[in-house]
Amino acid sequence: MAGIYVHIPFCKRRCLYCDFFSTTMLGRQKEYIEALLKEIAARRNETGEPIRTIYLGGGTPSTLESADISRLLQAIVTADATEVTMEMNAGDADTAYLQAIRQAGVNRLSIGIQSFQDELLRQIGRRHTAAQAAEAVHMAQEAGFDNISIDLIYALPSQRTEQWQADIETALDLGIQHISCYGLMYEEGTALTKMLETGQITAIDEDTENAMYDYLCERLKAAGFVHYEVSNFALPGYEAQHNSSYWNGTPYIGIGAGAHSYTRKDGEAVRSWNPDDLDAYIQGINNGTLVRGNERLTERDLFNEQVMLGLRTSHGCTLPPSVSRRATVGYYKELDLLSEPEEGHIIATQKGLHVLNRIIEDLMEG
Ligand code: SF4
């Protein structure tokens, strides 16, 4: 089984913290859709395996007309897909639109909310209010969506612990099935990072950020959510299938500007990617000269990915025996940052999740 990811790199406005590839040139959507349809037709069978999951991500897929969503999903033509996710900005929710995309085949929504505090939403440049965010979820439920995920961000500048705790309660009150939560990252070159560098905002301290994360994990666990990946929580049975395939090595085809693919052919694992440039992508597709970057993954690459992705999940990862790696695992076990339920199989502890990147780096092969 495989997945298809379709990148929709359009946003009505850029959020101040975002470094994803997207543009506000909505006038170019039509020509982009035509290019996507061509790429889908050429590549939809590339993995040689049935497509089980489809993910429309961005950018903001909900800036597209519902008729275009329908055309894209029809072009993928698969009866095997069990999960069809679409990302939506909370500011785009509208009953008729939601009904239309559901009709088109979307059966899972991922709604970008980030915060239920208006002052924080303004600070990070989101274009919706807290009330619109809650209303978006209600409208989606009324339209028949019964698999809804929302994204929240913690460790926002000047965010108070009580505000974060209130956000979690608001999320739980909405009756959603999945929550993705990310600690704010100050990515190089973003407007928010410039504000930090010039002293207009202050980052919250690491202890407070860790306490926010621990509270999140405990509260969602108490509410019946499974903490199945470092940033992802789901009611049992609602774990994101598409994202899980990134973590467990399932092949996927990435369609659109900047999209990445992972395929296995003749025993070789290959990662490839489209240019993250709208003109280069559209022209390349239209005149058949698209240059897709690619790399063959070595045994070492695959091992490192297994460590990096596996340790982010609640399943952990299995390590082949090695004296030096045993010493590293032993060191982190002593510090209660790793557990080893079976010899060679390691899982990050709650404390370990705070320093996960460091642990992963130490276990990867250089
Ligand atoms: S809507 Fe999403 S992709 Fe677009 S700028 Fe904001 S965070 Fe980035």
**Token pair of 53 as six digits:** 């999951």
pLDDT score recorded for residue 326:
87
User: Candidates 20, 113, 121, 126: which one to mutate for ligand 1, based on the most atoms within 8 Å of Cβ?
Assistant: 20
Is it the case that residue 317 has pLDDT exceeding 80?
A: yes
**Token pair of 68 as six digits:** 């275009």
Mean pLDDT lowest for which of 240-249, 275-284, 287-296, 331-340?
Answer: 240-249
Instruction: Name which of 344, 357, 251, 245 is nearest 312 in CA terms.
Output: 357
Q: What is the residue with the minimal CA distance to atom 6 of ligand 1?
A: 15
Average pLDDT over every residue of 317-343 = 90
CA of 80 to the centre of ligand 1 (A): 30
pTM: 0.95
Decide whether any atom of ligand 1 lies within 6 Å of the 127 Cβ.
no
CA of 15 to the centre of ligand 1 (A): 5
For the CA of 89, the closest atom of ligand 1 is 1
Mean residue pLDDT across the chain: 95
Q: How sure is the predictor about 322, in pLDDT bands with cuts at 50, 70 and 90?
A: confident
Is it the case that residue 78 has pLDDT exceeding 80?
A: no
Domain 2-245 superfamily per CATH: Aldolase class I (3.20.20.70)
C-alpha to C-alpha distance for 257 and 274, rounded to whole angstroms: 6
Decide whether any atom of ligand 1 lies within 6 Å of the 112 Cβ.
yes
Q: How sure is the predictor about 114, in pLDDT bands with cuts at 50, 70 and 90?
A: very high
pLDDT digits (tens, 9 = 90+) for 164-218: 999 999 999 999 999 999 999 999 999 999 999 999 999 999 999 999 999 999 9
Decide whether any atom of ligand 1 lies within 6 Å of the 26 Cβ.
no
Is it the case that residue 256 has pLDDT exceeding 90?
A: yes
**Token pair of 260 as six digits:** 């990445």
pLDDT score recorded for residue 328:
93
Percent of the chain whose pLDDT exceeds 90: 87
Write the CB contacts of 241 (distance below 8 Å, at least 6 apart in sequence).
Answer: 3, 52, 53, 82, 83
Q: The dihedral of CA 185, 191, 192, 195: what is its sign?
A: positive
Decide whether any atom of ligand 1 lies within 6 Å of the 9 Cβ.
no
pLDDT score recorded for residue 49:
86
Is it the case that residue 37 has pLDDT exceeding 90?
A: yes
pLDDT digits (tens, 9 = 90+) for 142-156: 999 999 999 999 999
User: Candidates 18, 24, 128: which one to mutate for ligand 1, based on the most atoms within 8 Å of Cβ?
Assistant: 18
CA of 59 to the centre of ligand 1 (A): 5
pLDDT score recorded for residue 241:
93
The 3 state secondary structure assigned to 115-153 is CCCHHHHHHCCCCCCHHHHHHHHHHHHHCCCCCEEEEEE
Alpha carbon distance, N-terminus to C-terminus of the chain: 31
Q: How sure is the predictor about 51, in pLDDT bands with cuts at 50, 70 and 90?
A: very high
Q: How sure is the predictor about 291, in pLDDT bands with cuts at 50, 70 and 90?
A: very high
Percentages helix, strand, coil for the chain, rounded to the nearest 5?
Answer: 40, 25, 35
Q: Using a CB cutoff of 8 Å and minimum separation of 24, what contacts does 220-224 make? A: 220/168, 220/172, 220/179, 223/172
Instruction: Name which of 288, 250, 258, 244 is nearest 6 in CA terms.
Output: 258
pLDDT score recorded for residue 261:
95
CA of 156 to the centre of ligand 1 (A): 16
C-alpha to C-alpha distance for 54 and 57, rounded to whole angstroms: 10
Decide whether any atom of ligand 1 lies within 6 Å of the 11 Cβ.
yes
pLDDT score recorded for residue 337:
98
pLDDT score recorded for residue 180:
98
Average pLDDT over every residue of 116-130 = 96
pLDDT score recorded for residue 244:
85
Is it the case that residue 320 has pLDDT exceeding 90?
A: no
Instruction: Name which of 145, 136, 61, 72 is nearest 102 in CA terms.
Output: 145
Task: Give the residue extent of every domain in the chain.
Answer: 2-245, 298-366
User: For residue 332, how many C-alpha atoms fall within 13 Å in the half-sphere facing its CB?
Assistant: 27
